[in-house]
């Protein structure tokens, strides 16, 4: 009787092993498909310790508002937006009036979003390795309905006649600014290799 159980166990183990390999291949395939190209920008599947979690189109209902790509990082809400507001002359220059205007508009959107105790903190720029200004940023503190007190970061740039906006929010924590800035800094090599 024991001799009969061993082959059955081996068969079950082999079937389980084959299933696990097939599952791993399927998951790997799904992850490979997670990379997205929107408005001519290829969003990396993984960047600065994050991974794509999903995409959303605003174009269907609101042409000009583009797309968002959510990146997953424990304890963070990170979204990257690409859009053109139906403008055709967006200069590829972070110091342009157009990009400065988008930073002002996005800052106003944060104040209008209904968060509690919104407090702007620091306005700053992120440079590439050649010390060229690539992103204009603003940090905030506020109270989120579900997250409580948060550190939030907003950065805007222009790429290929499109605006690219980063929104990164986490519960108040030491070092959050470094994490947010490292994520945005990593994009200099994606946008301007």
Q: What are phi and psi of 10, to 5 degrees?
A: -65, -40
Topology adopted by domain 36-191: Protein Transport Mog1p; Chain A (3.40.1000)
- Residues 81-91: tens digit of each pLDDT: 999 999 989 99
Q: Which residues contact 114 (CB under 8 A, 6 or more apart)?
A: 145
Q: Which of 185, 157, 178, 180 is CA-nearest to residue 167?
A: 180
Q: Which residue has the tokens 């940090």?
A: 139
Give Dmax (Cα) for the chain. 82
* Segments of the chain with pLDDT less than 70: 1-34
pLDDT in tens, 100-130: 999 999 999 999 999 999 999 999 999 999 9
- pTM, to two decimals: 0.81
Q: What is the pLDDT of residue 108?
A: 97
Cβ atoms 144, 117 nearer than 8 A:
no
């Amino acid at each position: 009787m024991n001799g009969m159980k061993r082959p059955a166990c081996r068969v079950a183990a082999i079937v389980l092993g084959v299933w696990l390999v097939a599952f791993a291949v399927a998951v790997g395939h799904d992850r490979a498909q997670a990379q997205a190209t929107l408005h001519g920008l290829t969003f990396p599947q993984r960047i600065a310790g994050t991974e794509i979690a999903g995409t959303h189109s605003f174009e269907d209902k609101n042409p000009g508002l583009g797309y968002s790509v959510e990146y997953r990082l424990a304890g963070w809400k990170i979204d990257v937006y690409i859009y053109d507001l139906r403008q055709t002359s967006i200069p590829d220059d972070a110091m342009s009036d157009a990009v400065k205007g988008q930073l002002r508009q996005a800052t106003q959107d944060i104040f209008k979003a209904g968060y509690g105790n919104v407090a702007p903190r620091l306005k700053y720029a992120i440079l590439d390795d050649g010390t060229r200004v690539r992103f204009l940023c603003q940090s905030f503190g506020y109270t989120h309905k579900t997250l409580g007190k948060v550190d939030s970061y907003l950065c805007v740039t222009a790429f290929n006649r499109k605006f690219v906006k980063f929104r990164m929010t986490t519960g108040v924590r030491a070092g959050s600014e470094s994490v947010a800035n490292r994520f945005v800094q990593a994009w200099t090599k994606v946008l301007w290799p």
